[in-house]
Structure formats: structure tokens, C-alpha cells
């Protein structure tokens, strides 16, 4: 049986660690980051030839809806789900699944984030096709696993059981959440261990059954939503029902608990653009090891990431391994080793009323 492949693009992330470019009303996936297209647009482009627009669903949040719709009008014009409130990925996946199953009870669904970078696209397509076959053959929950290239501490890892199962998948033994550096260094030495790309493939019925088993509260909420969907007062009631859904990720809520999880190792290069250091994945460095977007002049400047907005100049003297990002109203200067701590700055802005305008 050739499965009907659907896609749910998860476009609700905030991307706080890319502040000050990533903002409440201009979140990470809508940024271009030196490309001609935003991460969201690249994610939609990446589905061409794999999943038709007519079978692609976009899930986003209220404050991002307008911008997302403007960036991918062709995709978002058709099946566009706006979460009444953010309830993490389990609820978003559930909402998208309910929408898809209403139209196609036999759907096989690819779930993918809008803010990752993958190359080359052909290898992505090959891997997804394998994952879809495995999802159908085994009625399993299938994750895509990326070959690690360095001891990343910002990614999750997947340890497979031995024994390849056609078409090229493994049963998952365990998930390892963002490890400390020594553990990460150990993990990348072990054969078969991969990064969890956060890209999943499963039959709609299968993920719904898994949600019913592991997150019964979410399942009941989704059932209630399904009943009111399309009715005259549906929109208002959906909003109330959605707000009551549990806030948990699909990884923690379902995948780490289920015993029917599979992993297909991929040959594509991948990055989740989780911090400014990801620019080293997106762009190549100059002879001084600097990655520069926009106008820059430097004296004795090395190993740095320099991002100037249009029309703005960044000048650096005697700096090494720094991240400098200038937006219209804010400037970040951060040591590369502390790129994760940008989140702390964002938290402090949220906690301080006069500074909230910089969120």
C-alpha cells in the first residue's frame, strides 16, 4: 500500500535564544538569517515533491499567525490551524492530527518543525519515504536520527536497539535528553547513537491511539474538540477546550513512554538553529573564522559571529569568540560559550516591565 503522506508543520516556536532578532511578533522561523527565504519558507519549500500543499497543515500560535500566513501564503492559505494558546507540542500534534484524520482516516503524517535547517533536500525526501514505509509496516512511531558530527549538548540523542529492520530502521532503546559535555563526548563514540531531529512520521490513527494510552487527558480534550469542530459555535468552544489541554511535549508525553518507537537513520546534515552558534552550520566562516551577516569592519577579530541589520555597521576591535547581533532597538554581545544564556536575558526582560518592549 502506498501511504497518503500528509505533513504537519509545527510553526509555533518562539526561539528565544535568537534574541534580539527573534521577537514575540517576529519569531525564529520567520527570520532569514542570511538566506533569501526564512526558515519557515525553507521548511515549506523542502516539502515540494514529497507532500502536496493540499495535504500540508500548518499549526501556529495566535501572535504569529499573521506573519506565518504572509510568509507561506500558498501553504497556510489552505490548512492553517491557530492554537488559541501555547500548550507545547503534544497538544499541537494532537490538534493537527484531528484535522488531518477528519479528511483522511488512513493518513500517514510527517510532523516537522518550521525552524530547522536540513540539507540536501533529496536525502531528506529519501529518509522520509523510508520512515513512512516503516510507520505503515509496523504501525510504529518513527523518529528521524541524524549522524552526530560533534558532542552537542543542546540536542537530544537516541540509542537504538541492535538489529536493522527493513526499510532501514531500528527499534529505539532509549532517548537521552540534552547531555552534559562528558556524556555527549561518550555518546558520539558509540556506534548507532544519533541526534533526535524532532521530525516524526506515523499513521494518524497510531499517534492518536498512543496519545489515548499515555496522555488520556489530552485525548479526551481532543475528542471534545473533534465534536465541536465545524459547528456554528465551534471556534469559541475550541478556544476554551484548547486552553484546558495539558502542556507537555510529544517527546516526553508519548515517545519516551511508548514501546513502539522506531528510528530511521538519515544521511542529511541537520541543525535546529537553537542558538546563534548555529550560524556556523548555516554559513561558512571567513579566513579569520568570523561569520558575518551584514556590514562589518574588524581589527584583530577572530572566531566571532557578527550579525548587523540592514544599513547598520558593526565594528569590532580585539575580540575573539564573540557573538554580536544588532537589531533596530537592541544589541546582543555574548561570548560564544554562553549562547544558551541568551534565554536568561529574555527571561529578565519578561520580568521587568520597562524592558518588556524589547521582548
Kindly list the residues in this chain that would bind its own copies in the complex (CB under 8 A). Answer: 19-20, 295, 297, 299-300, 308, 311-319, 322, 324, 326, 329-335, 337-338, 341-342, 344-345, 348-349, 352, 355, 358
Nearer of residues 66 and 352 to its own copies, judged by Cβ? 352
Cβ-contact 195, 270 below 8 angstroms: yes
> Closest distance between its own copies and the C-beta of residue 312, in Å?
6
> Closest distance between its own copies and the C-beta of residue 314, in Å?
5
> Closest distance between its own copies and the C-beta of residue 305, in Å?
12
> Closest distance between its own copies and the C-beta of residue 354, in Å?
8
Nearer of residues 191 and 318 to its own copies, judged by Cβ? 318
The secondary structure of 80-96 as a DSSP string is EEEESS--HHHHHHHHH
> Closest distance between its own copies and the C-beta of residue 343, in Å?
10
| Biggest CA pair distance of the chain | 65
354: cell is 520597562
Nearer of residues 113 and 274 to its own copies, judged by Cβ? 274
> Closest distance between its own copies and the C-beta of residue 275, in Å?
11
Angstrom distances, CA of residue 151 to CA of 116, 157, 158, 246, 268: 19, 10, 14, 33, 17
* Gap between the Cα atoms of 321 and 324, Å rounded: 10
Cβ-contact 316, 331 below 8 angstroms: no
Nearer of residues 144 and 325 to its own copies, judged by Cβ? 325
> Closest distance between its own copies and the C-beta of residue 289, in Å?
16
| DSSP bridge pairs for 174 | 159
Cβ-contact 165, 286 below 8 angstroms: no
Q: Tell which residue, 108, 57, 102, has the closest CA to residue 79.
A: 57
Q: Tell which residue, 24, 12, 61, has the closest CA to residue 357.
A: 24
| DSSP bridge pairs for 322 | 335
Nearer of residues 19 and 202 to its own copies, judged by Cβ? 19
Nearer of residues 65 and 305 to its own copies, judged by Cβ? 305
163: cell is 538489529
Q: Is 62 helix (H, G, I), strand (E, B) or coil?
A: helix
Nearer of residues 139 and 321 to its own copies, judged by Cβ? 321
Cβ-contact 155, 188 below 8 angstroms: no
Nearer of residues 233 and 299 to its own copies, judged by Cβ? 299
* Gap between the Cα atoms of 126 and 268, Å rounded: 10
* Gap between the Cα atoms of 154 and 309, Å rounded: 27
Burial class of 203 by CB neighbour count within 10 A (0 to 12, 13 to 18, 19+) = buried
Nearer of residues 60 and 316 to its own copies, judged by Cβ? 316
* Gap between the Cα atoms of 301 and 318, Å rounded: 6
130: cell is 523510508
> Closest distance between its own copies and the C-beta of residue 4, in Å?
47
> Closest distance between its own copies and the C-beta of residue 287, in Å?
17
Amino acid at each position: 500500500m502506498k501511504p497518503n503522506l500528509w505533513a504537519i508543520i509545527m510553526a509555533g516556536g518562539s526561539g528565544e535564544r535568537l534574541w534580539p532578532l527573534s521577537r514575540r511578533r517576529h519569531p525564529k522561523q520567520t527570520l532569514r538569517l542570511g538566506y533569501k527565504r526564512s526558515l519557515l519558507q525553507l521548511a515549506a519549500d523542502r516539502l515540494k515533491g514529497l507532500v502536496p500543499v493540499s495535504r500540508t497543515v500548518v499549526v501556529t500560535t495566535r501572535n504569529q499567525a499573521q506573519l506565518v500566513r504572509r510568509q507561506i501564503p500558498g501553504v497556510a492559505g489552505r490548512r492553517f490551524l491557530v492554537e488559541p494558546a501555547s500548550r507545547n507540542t503534544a497538544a499541537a500534534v494532537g490538534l493537527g492530527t484531528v484535522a488531518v484524520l477528519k479528511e483522511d482516516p488512513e493518513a500517514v503524517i510527517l510532523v516537522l518543525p518550521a525552524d530547522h535547517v536540513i540539507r540536501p533536500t533529496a536525502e531528506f525526501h529519501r529518509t522520509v519515504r523510508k520512515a513512512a514505509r516503516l510507520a505503515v509496516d509496523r504501525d510504529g512511531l518513527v523518529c528521524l536520527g541524524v549522524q552526530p558530527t560533534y558532542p552537542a549538548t543542546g540536542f537530544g540523542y537516541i540509542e537504538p536497539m541492535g538489529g536493522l529492520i527493513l526499510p532501514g530502521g531500528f527499534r529505539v532503546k532509549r532517548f537521552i535528553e540534552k547531555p552534559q559535555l562528558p556524556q555527549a563526548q561518550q555518546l558520539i563514540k558509540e556506534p548507532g547513537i544519533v541526534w533526535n531531529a524532532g521530525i516524526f512520521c506515523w499513521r494518524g490513527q497510531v499517534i492518536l491511539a498512543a496519545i489515548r494510552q499515555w496522555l488520556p487527558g489530552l485525548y479526551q480534550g481532543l475528542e471534545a474538540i473533534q465534536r465541536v469542530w465545524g459547528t456554528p459555535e465551534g471556534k469559541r468552544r475550541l478556544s476554551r477546550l484548547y486552553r484546558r489541554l495539558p502542556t507537555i511535549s510529544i517527546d516526553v508525553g508519548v515517545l519516551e513512554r511508548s514501546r513502539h518507537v522506531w528510528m530511521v537513520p538519515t544521511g542529511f546534515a541537520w541543525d535546529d538553529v537553537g542558538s546563534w552558534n548555529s550560524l556556523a552550520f548555516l554559513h561558512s566562516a571567513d579566513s579569520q573564522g568570523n561569520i558575518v551577516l551584514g556590514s562589518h569592519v574588524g581589527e584583530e577579530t577572530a572566531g566571532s559571529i557578527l550579525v548587523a541589520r540592514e544599513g547598520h555597521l558593526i565594528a569590532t576591535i580585539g575580540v575573539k569568540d564573540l557573538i554580536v547581533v544588532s537589531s533596530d532597538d537592541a544589541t546582543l554581545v555574548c561570548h560564544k560559550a554562553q549562547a544558551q544564556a541568551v534565554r536568561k536575558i529574555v527571561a529578565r526582560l519578561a520580568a521587568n516591565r520597562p524592558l518588556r518592549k524589547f521582548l
